[in-house]
Amino acid sequence: MYLILLGPPGTGKGTQAKLLAERRRLVHIASGDLFREAVQQGSDLGQRVKAYLDRGELVPDELTIAMLEERVRQPEAQQGAIFDGYPRTLQQAQALDTMLAHLGTAADAALLITASDEELIRRLSGRWLCGACGEIFHERSRPPKLAGRCDRCGGALGQRDDDKPDVVRRRLQGMRPPEALLDYYRQQGKLLEIDGEQEVEAVTRNLLDAIERVASAVR
């Protein structure tokens, strides 16, 4: 299965993608995580994209698509994947279709997770991430058992540079899925909308139900 998670910053794409990847045995491909890793490693790609991430702006399609193509070509991605944060433009969506067509397959569903701006700001400003394994926490909705330490691996928790209030404001303006992208999947009958403003477990349940409906329609 190839699933796409769409939604504004902070809506829970990363949280849900990790849970769905485990439950459905899919590889989790998160464009934001790949960019942040590249920046941390100081690679050529990292140096080219750092300023976009710092400003909370879209990285140009050309760089984003090339990075995704490389990831999708890796053997473990050929058994199914869940895309988190990609595609974000119509051009990226068309490129993904071409990548999947090369594998003899296609995206099964695009799942749009929604939430109000007030909730997105609350989520982003209280987010903590494990620097070692990437596990996602929140100071109120998912606090770690031990302050500053990851429940899963014991790694130190930190905040993302782009979760500062001024960058969050810019991300909330510029990083929402554009209507043309939603229309692209709507017209193919692949767009499913999920209310993200519920507890994590309820959102996961609704996503799994939607995926099950898609899977049984394909069967």
Per-residue x/- track, 31-60, ligand AP5 (CB under 6 A):
xx--x----------------xx--xxxx-
Helix, strand and coil percent figures for the chain, each rounded to 5: 55, 15, 30
Give whichever of 118 and 215 is closer to ligand AP5, judged by the CB atom: 118
What's the rounded Cα separation, in Å, for the pair 22 and 130?
18
Per-residue x/- track, 76-95, ligand AP5 (CB under 6 A):
---------xxxx---x---
Pick one of 4, 7, 82, 108: the residue that binds ligand AP5 (CB under 6 A): 7
> Mutual orientation of helices 165-174 and 117-125 as an angle, nearest 10°?
140
* 64 is a site residue for ligand AP5 (CB under 6 A): yes
Handedness of CA 48, 135, 191, 23 (dihedral sign): positive
Look up residue 116 and give its amino acid. S
Asked if 20 and 80 count as a contact pair (C-beta separation under 8 A), the reply is: no
Give whichever of 146 and 217 is closer to ligand AP5, judged by the CB atom: 146
Beta bridge partners of 83: 4, 29
88 is catalytic: yes
Residues that are catalytic: 13, 88, 127, 160, 171
Q: Catalog residues that contact ligand AP5 under the rule CB under 6 A.
A: 7, 9-15, 31-32, 35, 52-53, 56-59, 64, 85-88, 92, 123-124, 126-127, 136-138, 141-142, 162, 171, 175, 199-200, 203
